[in-house]
Each structure stands twice: as structure tokens, then as C-alpha cells.
A and B are shown apart, each in its own frame.
Chain A
């Protein structure tokens, strides 16, 4: 806490504050735009942060990450399409409110509740991250290898409808990370073309896997019309709504607590947090029957939960390289291109950057509420941006973003090839997040696997070195539990689908 307070003023410098405000406004707009996923928005920004001071670059990414989660609620409330999976629970009461002509109130409740939940989540993050980072200090090569595998297994279960496809995606990512020269022996591997000589860098992979499939998906959806409710901004309800909102103590508390707990669990994500908080708020309500018909308490519970999740979801990311969501996986890529590796080193050698980043996340929550309230009056305009313009704009940014990192057209070719493959992969039920995480964690996994093998060969042997020891066993059990839980979920869904057919 003392370090956090020490570095807090750095987040308030003119450049950092301006970046934060621009990031929040941009994040709100991108989150609210149907057809643009928050993960893609953050992925597109990563290369531009490369030209900035590391702290400023991370502030931009953190601000966009925070704001897209809240911005996604705008399209959930106004057009019944969640901007991100985290906003699914928001539309259950938010959209009925919009249909009743109370869209403005629903948006205000959304941003105020997001602020309350977001700040509580940040306190949890500030308190728990440094102690967990100190535990990570005790990790050697086998633990780090298993942590990388755990990260992939979590993402495999989180972002794909099939755990097998998720794991295949993760393994494909690991395989891509081995393209280029072997780090230990300097031997070329899978270099089938000159373009692949330098391997596949993180930025082309991030942009290709997230942005190009989105461009093609937008091309597919051209011509389809979205239903939009009549949205007339109401005047003079802001202070009344703030007062009403702050009286929703039960919903806000449930949302913030559930969101914070779910956020710390890698892989659970904002979608789960929002839905569980909504369900609990309904169970504890005196009028549970009013939920789903336009009850602001439902919006408050869902939004406080999905924003409370943001801070704690960064705890496993900053300490162990395990992202809690696909967007956090992209954020991990942003850390790595600045040479910042998650773990204790982040809080010792790079304390200035890390704590400035954490402080900016607190400020981003406040800015998100203020600008969210201001922009909500004009949110209807964001909904009206034609897909045609987004196809052109996203492609141009994707191409230039990729090119700008190393001024290389080879990277652009790699980006477009991976993106086209991912678009085809999506048609077959594959998801980009495990592939990206495989590419990011691949070097960590290989490096620690080879280091561990060298030590094991001269010591206790490969099996004993990697499969014994309490910390190894805990992480291996977590991997098994993560995969087992996804398999159980799939079997249950399969049985339900079969019963429904009978």
C-alpha cells in the first residue's frame, strides 16, 4: 500500500492523465460499438503503445480495458447486444428499462455501479498482488513450466465451447512460438519461408488473431439491420439516480464481493461474475419477480460485479502470467513488448511503472464513470456507425499497427495469414484466445522446460523433477481441475441437449 501511495502522483502527470482520459473515452466508444470486441480494441492498441514510455503505454491499455467493460453495457442496454461477454447479465434488466423509455437511467445506474464495484475490486488488487508476487519468488523452472501450462488450460476452458478445441488452440499457439531459431541451440525450426526467419512476434499474432477475423465477420454481417429502441435523453435525473443508486447497498455489495472473488479465480471471467451476482441479488431481493422486467437493482448487481472483476483479474496476471480473460491475455502481450515480465521482478525492478499503472487503473474507474455519464447522452450516435466504415478502419489500423513495430512487411504477411486461418478456425469452433496465450507463454514454457531438463538430467531425473514437490503437485492438480471442470460442463451440456431432443 505504501508503494502504491508513493507512486500515485506519477499517474497524475499531464501526459499520463491525458492518455488515461483519451483511453477511457476511446474504450467507452469501442465497447459500445456493436461488432467491435473489447479484446480486439486492446489488441489493435498494443503496437501504438510500443512508441510510448512503458508506463504511459500501459496506462492507455489499462484505461481502454477498464472502459470497454463498462462501455459494452451501452449496447447491451440500448440494442440488447452485449458489447462483451461480461455484459450479458446487464441486458436482462437494462434492455427492458430501455424499452420502457428509461434507457438514460439504466445507463447512469450502470456507470455509477461500475465505479463502486471497480473501486472495491482495485482495493482488493492493491492489497493482494504484492504478497502473491512474493510467493512466485519461490518458483523454479518446473513450477514456471506448469504455471504456463495452467494458463493455457484455463484459457482453453474459458473461451471455447469445446475443451478439446481450446487445448488444441493452446498447443497450436505453443507450436507457433517455436517457429524461428531455437533459443538454446540456435537451430532453425519450421522456417519454411524467409518471412518466418525471425519467428512469429507477439504483435502480429495478437492483431491477426483478433482483428482480421472480426473484419471478415463484419463483411459477413453487412446488410443485416439492428433493432434500435427510440432513445431520448431524459433531463434532470442524474442526481436523483445517484441518490437512488447509492441506496442499492445490497445489490452493490453482492456485485462487488462476487466480482472480486470471481476475478481472482483465473478463467472465471466477468461473464460468470455478472450472472452469479445477478442471481444472488435476485435471491436476496424482497421483489425477486421484478428482476428481468426492468429493475435497476439487476443492472447495479451485474455492472458492479463485472467491473469489480477487472482489478482482481490482474492479480494472477501480474504475479503468475495467468490472465483471467481474453482481454487480460492481450494485456499480457502489452506488458511483454515493453520487456516487463509478470512476477516479483515487476514489483521490485519495475516498481515505478507497475505502481503507476495500478494507480492509473483506480483513476480510470473514476474517469470511466464521469465520461460514461457524459457520453451516455450521445451513445445512440455510436450505435449508428455503419459496419462498412469499421471494416476499412480496423483493417488500416491492423495493417499499420503490425507494420509499425519493426517496420516490416513480413510481419504484415504473418498477421494476415494467421488472421485468415483464425477466421476459418472460428467457423470450426476454435477461439483465438488460447492460441494467443500459447504464443505468449510458449517461450516461458520452453525455456523453463529446457532449463528444468538440464537440471533434472544431472540430479533426480525428469519425472521426479517435474512431477514431485508440493508446489508442482498443487499446480498440476489445478491444471487437472481446470480441464476436468470444463469436461464436466461439456458432458452436462451434452446430456441436456440430448434430453431436450427426447
Chain B
């Protein structure tokens, strides 16, 4: 299988570099346990490589195309959410994230009605979080502009 071949080669490269990095540890005795694990990982990766070369499983039919654009948008929205969480505070950033995600990823069926619904649901969801964390559990949340 092509996928297994790629993954086994990547793993072998990772295992070799990790094994070499063990030599740089301050106390060699601290490397004893990780060394055993890395050696076992090396053996398993080699077995996976052999399996991918000699035991070819029938390839499954290709499914739908991977929505790379949608995945990247979501990935970056989460990163931006992390960055702004401390500045805006937990509740404001959570509400804005909810709105931005539902508007951006669901723009195909965005109408005035669905937009209002999403804002209301986002508000209710944030309100429930506030009740749960601040009132019931009394836990600390990142403070920002408002809460």
C-alpha cells in the first residue's frame, strides 16, 4: 500500500533522528527507557515497510476529494481564536468564534433568517457556558475586554 510505504519511511526517518538525539542528553541513564521504546518503534516501522512492499492489500476505491480549502480555513480560524482568546476574554472570543465559524463554513445556506438564528444560538451557547463555568463551577476563565 502506497500510504503505508510513505508512513513507514517517515517513521523510520523520525526514529533514526530521535535515536541520534538521545546522545545529547545530559545524563545518558535518562535515555534508557526512551531508547527501548525508540528501538521497538524502529522494528515496528521496518515491519510496516516490509508489509507495505510484500503484502499488498487491495487499494480501496478513492472517495470524495479532500476539502483542503475548508480544512485550512478552519485550521486558521482556530489559530486566530487562540491568539485573541487572552486579549478578548473567554466569553467574547467564544461568541465571536462561534459566529465566524458558522458564517464562514456555512455560507452556502446563509440567509437573513439563518444569520439571525446563528447569532442567537451562539449567544445562548455562550450564556450556557457562563452559567456553567462562572456560576456553577466557579472556575477561572481568561479575562479580557468584557468578562
Contact = CB atoms under 8 A, between A and B. Distances in A.
Given A168-B45, A216-B74, A395-B97, A400 B90 contact: yes
Given A409-B85, A416-B82, 15 more contacts: A164-B51, A386-B106, A388-B102, A389-B125, A392-B101, A393-B98, A395-B81, A396-B97, A412-B82, A428-B6, A429-B4, A429-B7, A453-B32, A498-B58, A501-B58
A190 B21 contact: yes
B25 interface: yes
A190 B29 CA distance: 14
A494 B74 contact: no
Interface string A145-165: 000000000000000001011
- Can you list the 6 inter-chain pairs with the closest CB atoms, starting with the nearest? A182-B30, A187-B30, A392-B101, A187-B27, A392-B98, A388-B106
Contacts of A219: 67, 70-71, 74, 105
Contacts of A389: 102, 121, 125
Interface string A374-388: 000000000000101
Nearest to B99: A392
Interface string B34-64: 1011101100110110010001011000000
Nearest to B55: A494
B111 interface: no
Contact of B37 (A175, A400, A494): A175
A61 to B, nearest CB: 15
B98 A220 contact: no
Nearest to B73: A219
B108 A223 contact: yes
A164 B32 CA distance: 23
In which size bucket is the chain B interface?
35 or more
Contacts of B51: 164
For B30, B41, B82, the residue with the greatest tally of chain A CB atoms inside 10 Å of its CB is B30
Interface of A: 48, 51-52, 162, 164-165, 167-168, 171-172, 174-175, 178, 182, 184-185, 187-190, 215-216, 219-220, 222-223, 386, 388-389, 391-393, 395-396, 399-400, 403-404, 407, 409, 412-413, 416, 420, 427-429, 445-446, 449-450, 453, 494, 497-498, 501
Contacts of B29: 184-185
Contacts of A404: 133, 139-141
Majority SS of interface residues in chain A?
helix
B116 interface: no
B11 interface: yes
Contacts of B58: 497-498, 501
B41 A395 contact: no
Interface string B131-147: 00100011111100000
Contacts of B57: 494, 497
Interface in B83-138: 85-86, 90, 94, 97-98, 101-102, 105-106, 108, 121-122, 125, 129, 133, 137-138
Contacts of B122: 392
A171 B47 CA distance: 14
B82 to A, nearest CB: 6
B114 to A, nearest CB: 10
A168 B44 contact: yes
Contact of B44 (A171, A178, A420, A446): A171
Nearest to B31: A189
Nearest to B47: A164
B33 A450 contact: yes
Contact of B71 (A189, A220, A409, A494): A220
A416 B66 contact: no
A158 B59 CA distance: 22
Contacts of B133: 400, 404
B41 A409 contact: no
A429 B137 CA distance: 39
